[in-house]
């Protein structure tokens, strides 16, 4: 049973709200401590044994999330506190995964806005807060990391207020409740100078200030699918919040698709979220977040409703993609050695499956055979998909990232990003020069007491490709960069290409140390002795701005006159090893990144030297 606040007004009936339930989303910029806060709430909820919560970042269960230290997928949990069930939705903080945030906010009634007590509101803070306000969510604020020696909680609180004013919040929202916290230490307080022993002030603030979900128990059942889970035993599981009415096991329902079609279905199994998982239930009512099994091919945005009252809800609106890449099969001479899925049929099926749950992704057939144009919200968004595919056993080749342009009023427009950089004061000039060369315009610059300078730029999205690596190299790794989509603006001029050419192999075989010893005088190498190489593979970066075809498998010929003992010692510099993101940023228009479960290689699209020359002549003709 659940409790209901009932207000009777015959002329203007006020919706009833449940008092035993709260649905909240935790939103913040990347690395501000969302998942760590959830850890503290779980540990102090009194519902788990110590052995159940041994690890940090408990909800980051995905291998990629743990390796990279970021949240990629939104996740649901539920805890009970003082007789109230609190459904908590942990959302990603990186701008490239904004699609995850936009769809799950539909399930919440309020939001915990988490802000770092030193960094303050960042680009993604603005983005997620604006989306929460658009959905009508009531925010409560947690100023996190007050245990930092350089924290400035009161100043950050003022910045949060200013941000809400900029976003057009009403007077009620501007009077937001707040607490200070250290999620890592596991406490929250109303006075940043006083340390407490509990995180419970956060939960008290949620129960006192975030309203329970609206209840219309007499209306027919209606729910929007906001998340799709997959089970090997039951197939797709539709997750969403019940908008009105109630649903039980065995109920007949209608699934309303995007094109207006309607499919009949039945609820085979009904589950509610409980602690870190889900538990079976017989009935669920308005406001509950449920998982339904047995529906016919549900998709995100579909409405599940009573078959006699097929009223569709407004589908989830997600911002458009800004970046696209060509995905094609691996056609190199080394194809098929490591992967299990190597054909275009495998590639197509995997991309179509990803579309079911990744609402910000777009996939189109490319002009050439066996290729697909995949569009996403940013380089990280697409590289995470590629990394997941290679770990699943796929082999593929990926082209250079391209921004998506739009024609507005007869003029071409391209996406611009708001770039914020914190750099040491002595290298600000170098960073401004690099960003300026990529058509970036400085909009704001401010100094800090820590010796770091904060600079905000407006820059074309294509100017960001490859910029992070260069800025980190110029600042010896001390720069902190964040960016978010700003708007579409008139296309700028050309952006500088890669300043150096590459070394291209002209032979197939194993790389030989003697050959690299002679080549490293004029290049930085990407390969080591013993690595496989083939004709057309990129094995290093040339010291000049042109490509050079070389033979990396050449061995030293020995004779009776020349003995190996009289040779000089071969000393090789360590090769430059690239991550997937670095490789995608590095390549040019005529190159691919070859991705297999075991390797990441760079190669020319046209492998033979004669073929590349013919292609160059045809372009100039």
Which of 512, 513, 507 lies closest to 609 in space, CA to CA?
507
User: Residue 144, annotated ligand binder?
Assistant: yes
Cα–Cα distance for residue pair 192/140, rounded to 1 Å: 17
Q: Which residues contact 35 (CB under 8 A, 6 or more apart)?
A: 57, 58, 59, 60, 71, 90
The sign of the torsion formed by the CA atoms of 189, 191, 193, 194 equals negative
The sign of the torsion formed by the CA atoms of 481, 487, 493, 498 equals positive
Residue pair 361/376 in contact (Cβ under 8 Å)? The answer is yes
- For 570: left if phi > 0, alpha if psi spans -120 to 50, otherwise beta; the answer is beta
Q: Which residues contact 190 (CB under 8 A, 6 or more apart)?
A: 179, 180, 201
User: Residue 200, annotated ligand binder?
Assistant: no
User: Residue 35, annotated ligand binder?
Assistant: yes
Residue 532, beta-bridge partner list: 510
Residue pair 383/94 in contact (Cβ under 8 Å)? The answer is no
Contacts by residues 274-279 (CB-CB < 8 Å, ≥ 24 positions apart): 274/78, 275/47, 275/48, 275/77, 275/78, 275/79, 276/42, 276/58, 276/77
Angle at 180 between CA 177 and CA 185, to 5 degrees: 145
Which of 228, 214, 206 lies closest to 73 in space, CA to CA?
228
Cα–Cα distance for residue pair 89/285, rounded to 1 Å: 19
Residue 341 DSSP class? B
For 171, the 3-state DSSP assignment is helix
Cα–Cα distance for residue pair 149/411, rounded to 1 Å: 51
For 31, the 3-state DSSP assignment is coil
Residue 440 DSSP class? -
For 148, the 3-state DSSP assignment is coil
Residue pair 214/4 in contact (Cβ under 8 Å)? The answer is no
How far from chain centre, in Å, is Cα 587? 22
Cα–Cα distance for residue pair 34/142, rounded to 1 Å: 10
Cα–Cα distance for residue pair 402/588, rounded to 1 Å: 11
Tokens of 547: 């490509």
User: Residue 147, annotated ligand binder?
Assistant: yes
User: Residue 450, annotated ligand binder?
Assistant: no
The sign of the torsion formed by the CA atoms of 316, 322, 325, 326 equals positive
Residue 324, beta-bridge partner list: 375, 402
The sign of the torsion formed by the CA atoms of 11, 15, 16, 19 equals negative
User: Residue 36, annotated ligand binder?
Assistant: yes
User: Residue 608, annotated ligand binder?
Assistant: no
User: Residue 283, annotated ligand binder?
Assistant: no
Return binding residues for GTP: 31-36, 144-147
Return binding residues: 31-36, 144-147
């Amino acid at each position: 049973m659940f409790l209901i606040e009932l207000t009777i007004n015959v002329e203007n009936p006020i919706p009833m709200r449940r008092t035993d339930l709260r649905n909240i989303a935790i939103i913040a910029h990347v690395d501000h401590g969302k998942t760590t806060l959830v850890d503290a709430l779980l540990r102090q909820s009194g519902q788990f044994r110590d052995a159940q919560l041994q690890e940090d970042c408990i909800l980051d269960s995905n291998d990629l999330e743990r390796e990279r230290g970021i949240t990629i997928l939104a996740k649901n949990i539920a805890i009970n506190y003082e007789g109230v069930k609190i459904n908590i939705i942990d959302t990603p903080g990186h701008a490239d995964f904004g699609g995850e945030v936009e769809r799950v906010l539909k399930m919440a009634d309020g939001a915990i806005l988490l802000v770092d007590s030193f960094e303050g509101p960042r680009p993604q803070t603005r983005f997620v807060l604006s989306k929460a306000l658009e959905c009508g969510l009531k925010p409560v604020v947690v100023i996190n990391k007050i245990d930092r020696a350089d924290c400035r909680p009161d100043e950050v609180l003022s910045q949060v207020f200013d941000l809400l004013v900029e976003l057009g919040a009403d007077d009620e929202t501007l009077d937001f409740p707040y607490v200070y916290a250290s999620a890592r230490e596991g406490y929250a307080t109303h006075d940043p100078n006083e340390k407490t022993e509990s995180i419970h002030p956060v939960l008290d603030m949620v129960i006192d200030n975030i309203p329970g979900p609206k209840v219309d128990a007499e209306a027919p059942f209606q729910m929007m699918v906001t998340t799709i889970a997959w089970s090997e035993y039951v197939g797709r599981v539709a997750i969403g919040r019940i908008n009105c009415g109630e649903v039980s096991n065995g109920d007949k329902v209608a699934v309303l698709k995007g094109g207006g079609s309607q499919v009949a279905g039945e609820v085979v199994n009904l589950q509610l979220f409980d602690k870190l998982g889900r538990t079976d239930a017989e009935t669920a009512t308005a406001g509950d977040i449920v998982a339904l099994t047995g529906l016919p091919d549900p998709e995100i945005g579909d409405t599940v409703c009573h078959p006699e009252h097929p009223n569709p809800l407004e589908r989830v609106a997600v911002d458009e993609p800004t970046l696209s890449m060509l995905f094609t099969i691996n056609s190199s001479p080394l194809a098929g050695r490591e992967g299990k899925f190597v054909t275009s049929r495998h590639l197509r099926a995997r991309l179509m499956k990803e579309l079911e749950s990744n609402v910000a992704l777009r996939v189109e057939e490319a002009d050439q055979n066996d290729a697909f144009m995949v569009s996403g919200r940013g380089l990280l968004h697409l590289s995470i998909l590629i990394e997941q595919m290679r770990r699943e056993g796929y082999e593929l080749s990926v082209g250079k990232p391209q921004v998506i342009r739009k024609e507005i009023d007869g003029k071409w427009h391209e996406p611009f990003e708001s770039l914020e950089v914190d750099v040491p004061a002595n290298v600000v000039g170098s960073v401004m020069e690099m960003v300026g060369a990529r058509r970036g315009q400085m909009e704001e610059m401010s100094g800090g007491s820590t010796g770091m300078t904060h600079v905000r730029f407006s820059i074309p999205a294509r100017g960001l490709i490859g910029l992070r690596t260069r800025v980190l190299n110029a600042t010896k790794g001390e720069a902190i960069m964040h960016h978010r989509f700003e708007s579409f603006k008139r296309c700028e001029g050309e952006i500088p290409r890669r300043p150096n050419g590459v070394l291209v192999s002209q032979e197939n075989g194993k790389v030989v140390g003697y050959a690299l010893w002679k080549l490293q005088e004029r290049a930085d190498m990407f390969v080591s002795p013993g690595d496989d190489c083939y004709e057309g593979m990129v094995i290093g970066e040339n010291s000049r701005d042109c490509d050079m075809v070389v033979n990396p498998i050449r061995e030293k010929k020995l004779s009776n006159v020349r003995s190996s003992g009289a040779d000089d010692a071969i000393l090789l510099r360590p090769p430059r090893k690239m991550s997937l993101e670095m490789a995608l940023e590095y390549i040019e228009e005529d190159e691919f990144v070859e991705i297999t479960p075991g390797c990441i290689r760079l190669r020319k699209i046209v492998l033979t030297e004669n073929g590349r020359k013919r292609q160059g002549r045809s372009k100039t003709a």
